[in-house]
Amino acid sequence: MLSEEKDRQQKKLFSQKQSPLAKSPGFSPKPSPLWRSSVSSPKPSPLKNSPALGVLKPNKQEKPEKPLTCCASCLGMRSPPSPVQTHHQTISSYQIKLHEQVGRGSTAIIYRGSWKGLEVAVKCMNPDFFYFTEGGVGFFLQEIETLSRQHHPFVLRLVGASLNPPQYGWVVTEFLTMTLKEWLHGKGNKRTKRSIPLPPLKERIAKALEVSQGMQYLHEQKPMLLHRDLKPSNIFMDHALHIRVADFGHARFLSDGEKALTGETGTYIYMAPEVIRHEPYNEKCDVFSYGVILNELITGEHPYIETTYGPTEIALGVSDAKLRPALPPDDGQHGELIDLICQSWDEDMSIRPSFAIITSTLKSIQERLIT
């Protein structure tokens, strides 16, 4: 009896010490991070065991990673995807040599690397992304699956991937050193006045055409692929200054049975109004982004540099007041380009042309400039 009374008192005391949140209706303890339940003792990322420069030296107790595969239909699931063979080549982290850091984002660090004598870019995901981002493993696998399907001269080429989520995940692609943003505006992240000479109009139209051809390829796939974050900093250039559409972290396949997507994704300055408003949208959201890029190429100016607005104010203006960047002067040389820009960023999605039409129009303009 004394023992039972003591147990009751201890339980009462424990309940009194619990936080108000724990007692609130509908409260449930925070679930374990994604996939952690299947990992009894997480292995450290190879990046933590070796310097950023030099040959990777994974933990000696660590066994070579087994390929983790997934099909497009199960990507983004919260539970571990079914092991279905993918199209990408699995690369052992032992084979990759990392050199200097060339980029950094909120979820990954990008290094120049070497693999079997080939210069590559290695995107190393932050392990916290897998542990603390809901669906993080799915998002990572989706980017790999998306890249593995692309085979076009103006789309970034996937070399392979080194996968062992949730411990680490690396995407290995061809190495490209310059973005369209840097080619047009020079180095630096701020929206400032031009710091380098403006490339000739013929060259700017040539770049616009290659971007359109790359996007036409993506939109004409079965199923259709929406990029959803098209902007100059996500468009790279090779040594011959040819375009590569890149960064498919927000990309999504749109099957024939789906008419539209919902949810805000992308970058405000290049984002379509229907996406900002969280309304249903389709592939024409990419056309809107392209219209902003095309205008940027023709004017040579950052979008909305004529205003003092920040990204949020720009988004509100685009969504509610039909705000658009300043157009180039209509001096008789830019008339057809201005029409194409205005159609591409029209408020009405149905008026925006397909990338097939944009490609055809730019080819005609290019031919007239050459002759």
Catalytic residues: 229
Going by C-alpha positions, the residue among 253, 227, 231 that lies closest to residue 74 is 253
Sheet of strand 235-237: strand arrangement:
178-179, 235-237, 243-245
Q: What is the Cα–Cα distance from 266 to 314, expressed in whole angstroms? A: 14
- Token couple for 79: 């539970």
Going by C-alpha positions, the residue among 230, 226, 229, 243 that lies closest to residue 184 is 243
- Given a contact cutoff of 8 angstroms between Cβ atoms, the answer to whether 237 and 180 are in contact is yes
Contacts (Cβ under 8 Å, ≥6 apart) of 271: 264, 285, 288, 289, 315, 318
Contacts (Cβ under 8 Å, ≥6 apart) of 116: 95
* Residue 284 in marked binding region: no
Going by C-alpha positions, the residue among 277, 271, 305, 274 that lies closest to residue 289 is 271
Handedness of CA 323, 295, 287, 354 (dihedral sign): positive
Burial of 102 (0-12, 13-18, 19+ CB in 10 A): middle
Q: How far is CA 288 from CA 115, 214, 266, in A?
A: 38, 15, 12
Question: How is residue 90 annotated by DSSP?
Answer: B
Going by C-alpha positions, the residue among 349, 248, 231 that lies closest to residue 296 is 231
- Token couple for 89: 């080549």
Which residues are 236's β-sheet partners? 179, 244
Annotated binding residues for ATP, written as ranges, equal: 123
